[in-house]
Amino acid sequence: MERLTAMQYWDKKQKRAQRTQQKEKALDQTVLEIIQCVRNEGDQAIRSFTEKFDGVSIEAFMVTEEEFNEARKSVSPSFIKAVKTAAENITQFHEKQLEQSWLDMSKAGTMVGQKVTPLDRVAIYVPGGKAAYPSTVLMNVIPAKIAGVNHIYLTTPPQADGKINPYVLVAAKEVGVETIYKIGGAQSIAAFAYGTETIPKVQKITGPGNAYVASAKKWVYGDVAIDMIAGPSEICIVADETANVNFIAADLLSQAEHDEEAQAICITTSIKQAEAVELAVQEQTKRLARKVIIQKSLDQHGQIIVADTMDDAFAIVNDIAPEHLQLMIAEPIEKLGAVKHAGAIFLGNYSPEALGDYVAGPNHTLPTNGTAAFASPLGVYDFMKKSSVIYYDKSSLLAVANTIIELANTEQLTAHAQSVQIRKEE
């Protein structure tokens, strides 16, 4: 990890190129061709891309009830119990996000408001590969369910044996997903964005994926909604002398294990603590299974920043706009007001990032790479949309008729003006 003072942080920032999204033309072109191929050739294109990229030939895309049952037998009861506990907390939190329609009738003769309705059909992408991500299933499906989405389709790439990871299947069944497809990559994003003979066109696609999936989501954005373009993941821990150094190290490492691009940052007001954290990070890394990834992440992106004051520390936090922010300081709740930009804020010594990743209730799908300055965690609001409602009676319209006509004529939209004029003259 690199050690910096606050001043060095700001100085370095000036010189550093922003970690913006890669405009990888070659990848983007490949993905666009995959998308166009799926639009033109439908299921047949999906089958050949699945053979090419996943190395498996599949006839039926949909997971059968039999496969569900088989998966259920292969997982432990303690896993199922853990999924149930997590699902319960996630449900309880997200139910509080449900918005209501409202109507303002404060002016007689008029009514304006906002009608809130769920999306009809959404697709949730769950990454495949070696690892299983049942928590991704819970964090995407539960808010969609609470929103009232009628059709929730889950899609995930098949393994080499043509099956789906059993943990993903069991988690999906546990939260009531009816339909799961064995398709991955850009081809699955294209299929759900435009529909094929057997794949339904949806209104929104959410969930994380590799570079192909991210590029495909960006291409189809506008024709369907997407959740976000996820970038590298990061943690920022603000610590004072009350923080447990071993906890700080463990939490930094939990972030660094994600991948080599992940970033772990600790901001402290004490040089002594900075030194202790560095030592603890070194010690703990040795014992971890993913130490090779962790070491690369720390070498490339790890930072320990020593700030003179807490104010300096929070200025840096708000500049970083971290995905995960842990406040391991004496009065963390009192400092909530100082945080302007963060995906999720973890308070105190006993609220590690891993708590929020799995079980606390809030969503673990968070804006990454500084986008917390303008984006929100995934939520029920991502699966609902609003319609404005406008009612004016005759006299209420006539009272504002001249205002409308004035503005419409200014904009040279004379048929707009006429549509009001005709009602005046009636």
The yes or no reply on residue 394 touching a copy of itself (CB under 8 A) is yes
The yes or no reply on residue 227 touching a copy of itself (CB under 8 A) is no
User: Nearer to a copy of itself by C-beta: 93 or 153?
Assistant: 93
Taking CB under 8 A as the criterion, the residue among 194, 236, 267, 305 binding a copy of itself is 194
Q: Burial code of 269-305, b = ≥16 C-beta within 10 A, e = fewer?
A: beeebbebbbebbeebbeebeeeebbbbbbeebbbbb
- Was 140 annotated as part of a binding site? no
DSSP-assigned states of every residue in 28-70? HHHHHHHHHHHHHHTHHHHHHHIIIII----S--BPPHHHHHH
- Least Å distance, CB 188 to a copy of itself, is 18
- Residue closest to 351 by CA, chosen among 361, 366, 340: 361
Residue 347 has which token pair? 């308070």
Give the whole-angstrom CA distance, residue 412 versus residue 414. 6
> Which 317-346 residues touch a copy of itself, going by CB under 8 A?
332-333, 336, 339-346
The yes or no reply on residue 402 touching a copy of itself (CB under 8 A) is yes
Q: How far is CA 25 from CA 21, 30, 69, 204, 270, in A?
A: 12, 9, 43, 25, 45
- Least Å distance, CB 59 to a copy of itself, is 26
- Was 210 annotated as part of a binding site? yes
The yes or no reply on residue 85 touching a copy of itself (CB under 8 A) is yes
Between β-strands 2-5 and 303-306, what pairing exists: parallel, antiparallel or unpaired? parallel
> Which 406-425 residues touch a copy of itself, going by CB under 8 A?
406-408, 410-420, 422-423
Polymer length in residues for the chain: 426
Give the whole-angstrom CA distance, residue 232 versus residue 368. 6
The yes or no reply on residue 385 touching a copy of itself (CB under 8 A) is yes
Residue 177 has which token pair? 């997903």
Q: State the sign of the Cα–Cα–Cα–Cα dihedral 68, 73, 74, 75.
A: positive
User: Nearer to a copy of itself by C-beta: 50 or 119?
Assistant: 119
- Least Å distance, CB 51 to a copy of itself, is 26
Query: For a copy of itself, which stretch binds (CB under 8 A), given 7-15, 139-147, 184-192, 256-264?
Result: 256-264
Taking CB under 8 A as the criterion, the residue among 9, 20, 65, 158 binding a copy of itself is 20
DSSP-assigned states of every residue in 312-340? HHHHHHHHH--SEEEEESSSTGGGGGG--
- Was 416 annotated as part of a binding site? yes
The yes or no reply on residue 260 touching a copy of itself (CB under 8 A) is no
Give the whole-angstrom CA distance, residue 166 versus residue 174. 12
Instruction: Specify the residue for token string 């996630």.
Output: 90
> Which 356-375 residues touch a copy of itself, going by CB under 8 A?
356-363, 366-367, 371-375
Cite the active site residues.
323-324
The yes or no reply on residue 74 touching a copy of itself (CB under 8 A) is no
The yes or no reply on residue 210 touching a copy of itself (CB under 8 A) is no
- Least Å distance, CB 167 to a copy of itself, is 5
Instruction: Specify the residue for token string 């009350």.
Output: 242
- Least Å distance, CB 399 to a copy of itself, is 10
The yes or no reply on residue 100 touching a copy of itself (CB under 8 A) is no
- Residue closest to 34 by CA, chosen among 216, 288, 273: 216
- Was 300 annotated as part of a binding site? no
- Was 125 annotated as part of a binding site? yes
- Least Å distance, CB 344 to a copy of itself, is 4
Q: Residue 104: which residues within 8 A CB-CB, separation 6 or more?
A: 111, 112, 113
- Was 364 annotated as part of a binding site? no
* Binding-site positions for substrate: 233, 255, 258, 324, 357, 411, 416
Residues flagged as binding site for NAD(+): 125, 187, 210
